[in-house]
Amino acid sequence: MTRLINGNFTIKAMEQRLVECVPNFSEGQNKGIIDSIIQPILDNKSVTLLDIDMGRDFNRTVVTMVGEPESVLQTVTECTAIALELIDMRHHSGEHARMGAVDVVPFIPIKGVTMEECIDLSNRYAKLVSDEHSLPVFLYANSANHPSRVRLPDIRKGEYEGLQDKILSPDWVPDFGPAKFQPKMGATATGARNFLIAFNVNLNTANKSKANTIAAKIRTSGIVVKDDNGETVKDKNGVIQRIPGVFEKLQAAGWMYNEDTAQVSMNLLDYSVTGLHDVTETIKLEASQLGLQAVAGELVGLVPLQAIMDAGHHYSDTNIQDVDTLVKNAIEGLMLDRLESFDPHENIIEWAIERK
């Protein structure tokens, strides 16, 4: 992935109410398109661009902005309009699951803002972009109106290719916008959630199925039970039977980092429950049982300082309390410096905000 950081140093984090927004755009190869999409962030003095992660193989870009709630709402709405104009899903392909040009737009409370306020922001965003662009929008996470829409993977199931039939189902009428397949733009999910850590661990293999095997064992949803004929096992109520995974609050799947390297791609939904060091050490163990090695860790976007500190304590002697030492040990233990240099002042959200 290519990481780009802008030079907007206008935010004064200690004085402002802060909301983080992390829109995911289905374009990771054309830098010119991404430059156009992020221009409203650069233009708004009440919003700061913290991070851009462009994934060429994923053909996806994750943008992290932070600022005052109303300014963030205005800015991401403007970014959405540009993305819908420039990205055509009819010609999109990539390794990462996706269903729309603007695939997902989460709002995260950071400082002085409640979850309820972020839920309101997501609803207002959904109404604005659906009214303006006839964009189908689904609400997820804490904003979800239906239990079946809390989890983003459930909304994305079938991806863009299955959206044409899915959106016509009574069970999948969008929360905002038309129940109509829009070939160029697809559909968008938006919602309010807690801080999510996107973290991947690379393996020394090009075999994606082995990464999938590990992912299935560790993720919360676990492994689907199959009978001797390979058919999915369901109970008398038609519920698919699963073997629970190792960790709570964890989503995971096997992806390809590049054509030579498979990875276990994860979302840690609550790092206080399942930490970065927990998944890293378990993946190392599971990989060794398959005759493989975990060779690198990769963060997509930013990470809270406490999550890194927790890992630092795991990888340090018990008497070490120095913050810089703990961060250094976490970076080494999580293998975050194996793919490229890892600057904690750019990648730890509290330090990135202070720097900017």
DSSP 61-121: EEEEEEE-HHHHHHHHHHHHHHHHHH--GGG---SS--SBSEEEEEEEEEES--HHHHHHH
Q: Residue 346 CB: number of other CB atoms within 10 A?
A: 17
DSSP 278-344: HHHHHHHHHHHHTT--EEEEEEES-B-HHHHHHHHHHTS-TT---HHHHHHHHHHHTTTTSSS---H
- Cβ neighbors of 314 (< 8 A, separation 6 or more) are 275, 277, 330, 333
What the block records as the tokens of 88 is: 């055509």
**Measured distance CA(257)–CA(127) in Å, rounded:** 35
**Measured distance CA(290)–CA(285) in Å, rounded:** 9
**Measured distance CA(178)–CA(314) in Å, rounded:** 49
Chain mean position to CA 219: 15
What is the end-to-end Cα distance of the chain in Å, rounded?
22
Catalytic residues: 96
> Going by DSSP bridges, is the β-strand pair 24-25/102-111 parallel, antiparallel, or unpaired?
antiparallel
- Report residue 248: phi and psi, to 5°: -90, 155
DSSP 317-333: -TT---HHHHHHHHHHH
